[in-house]
């Protein structure tokens, strides 16, 4: 070390004493005392500490993987619970709108904000009780149940049904055999979504007044759909409570060759459908307003007869 430092100063060999004296010299020839060297060493160690001379090694991918999986599962569960959920179509009752094996995404968000089912929507709902009695249901394994629970697979809860909303609370619906479905006095042209060759109803029903807070549902493949028409003997008269509706099916997500949205058909936007519903409350208001007048006149007549 001394030889190197000395060579840097003079380029010639010096006595050993000179070499010892030159130990403190740096390559520029400046002398450094012991105190200064100690001071510099301390500053260097402090600077190394401040600059993170020994940074922590990043965690390995395998240590991070469980955390990432946990976050993904929580997000999937939250999405399935509050936003959208996948459902698999198990039957042909909604052909050709939906085919067996299609996967649809159901909007579960808007019901949280008070949205209720509307005419023409395709909705998924829980079995009101007795609708699926006697029908075979798949028996998924543990893995399928778990993936379905967190929303990574279509629902394994086979007690759900999917139909189209035809009438909502306050509506009156009926149909004559071989004729059209009549909603609030308006005959519906359902050719836009009915299965080709299917008639609106093969058996007559109604008129049925749908109670408030409930819906009347029918499949698009009317000859192959056990819908509201066939459960009128059950509590609710074939109608489904709004609280049992999981959400509206908004898109066919799988297979990709079948990708499509599920809009509300134009026939349900007719103003005449709402006018008929509005007429009933107005009539009730008129009756309520006329009742006091009738009672007052009757009381006056009674008082007149008594006086005579």
Crossing angle of helices 142-150 and 61-82, rounded to 10°: 70
Q: Are 24 and 32 in contact (CB under 8 A)?
A: yes
Residues ≥6 apart with Cβ < 8 Å to 235 = 128, 129
Tokens, residue 87? 């459902």
Q: Are 281 and 287 in contact (CB under 8 A)?
A: no
Q: Name the strand (E) or helix (H) holding 65.
A: helix 61-82
State the catalytic residues. 93, 163
Residues ≥6 apart with Cβ < 8 Å to 238 = 208, 216, 227, 228, 229, 230, 231, 232
Tokens, residue 300? 């006056």
Q: How many CB atoms lie within 10 A of CB 219?
A: 27
User: Which residue from 88, 126, 80, 128 is spatially nearest to 107, judged by alpha carbons?
Assistant: 80
- Give the three-state DSSP class for 190: coil
Q: How many CB atoms lie within 10 A of CB 120?
A: 20
How far apart, in whole angstroms, are the C-alpha atoms of residue 287 and residue 283?
6
Tokens, residue 171? 């509506």
User: Which residue from 173, 174, 226, 181 is spatially nearest to 199, judged by alpha carbons?
Assistant: 181
User: Which residue from 235, 233, 173, 234 is spatially nearest to 205, judged by alpha carbons?
Assistant: 173
């Amino acid at each position: 070390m001394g030889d190197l430092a000395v060579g840097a100063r003079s380029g010639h060999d010096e006595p050993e004493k000179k070499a010892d004296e030159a130990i403190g010299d740096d390559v520029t020839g400046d002398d450094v005392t012991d105190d200064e060297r100690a001071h510099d060493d301390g500053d260097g160690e402090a600077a190394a500490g401040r600059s993170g001379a020994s940074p922590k090694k990043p965690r390995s991918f395998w240590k991070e993987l469980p955390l990432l999986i946990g976050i993904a599962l929580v997000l999937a569960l939250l999405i399935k619970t509050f936003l959208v959920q996948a459902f698999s179509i198990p039957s042909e009752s909604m052909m050709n709108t939906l085919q067996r094996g299609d996967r649809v995404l159901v909007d579960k968000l808007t019901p949280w904000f008070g949205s209720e089912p509307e005419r023409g929507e395709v909705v998924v709902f829980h079995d009101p009780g007795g609708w699926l009695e006697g029908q075979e249901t798949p028996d998924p394994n543990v893995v399928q149940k778990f993936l379905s629970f967190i929303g990574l697979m279509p629902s394994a809860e086979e007690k759900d049904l999917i139909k189209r909303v035809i009438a909502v609370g306050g509506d009156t619906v009926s149909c004559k055999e071989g004729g059209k479905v009549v909603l609030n006095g308006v005959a519906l042209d359902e050719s836009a979504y009915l299965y080709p060759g299917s008639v609106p109803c093969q058996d007559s029903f109604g008129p049925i007044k749908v109670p408030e807070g409930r819906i009347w549902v029918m499949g698009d493949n009317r000859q192959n759909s056990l819908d509201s028409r066939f459960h009128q003997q059950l509590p609710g008269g074939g109608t489904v409570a709004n609280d049992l509706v999981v959400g509206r099916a908004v898109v066919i997500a799988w297979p990709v060759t079948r990708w499509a949205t599920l809009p509300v058909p134009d026939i349900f936007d007719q103003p005449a459908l709402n006018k008929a519903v509005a007429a009933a409350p107005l009539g009730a208001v008129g009756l309520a307003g006329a009742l006091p007048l009738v009672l007052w006149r009757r009381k006056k007549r009674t008082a007149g007869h008594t006086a005579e």
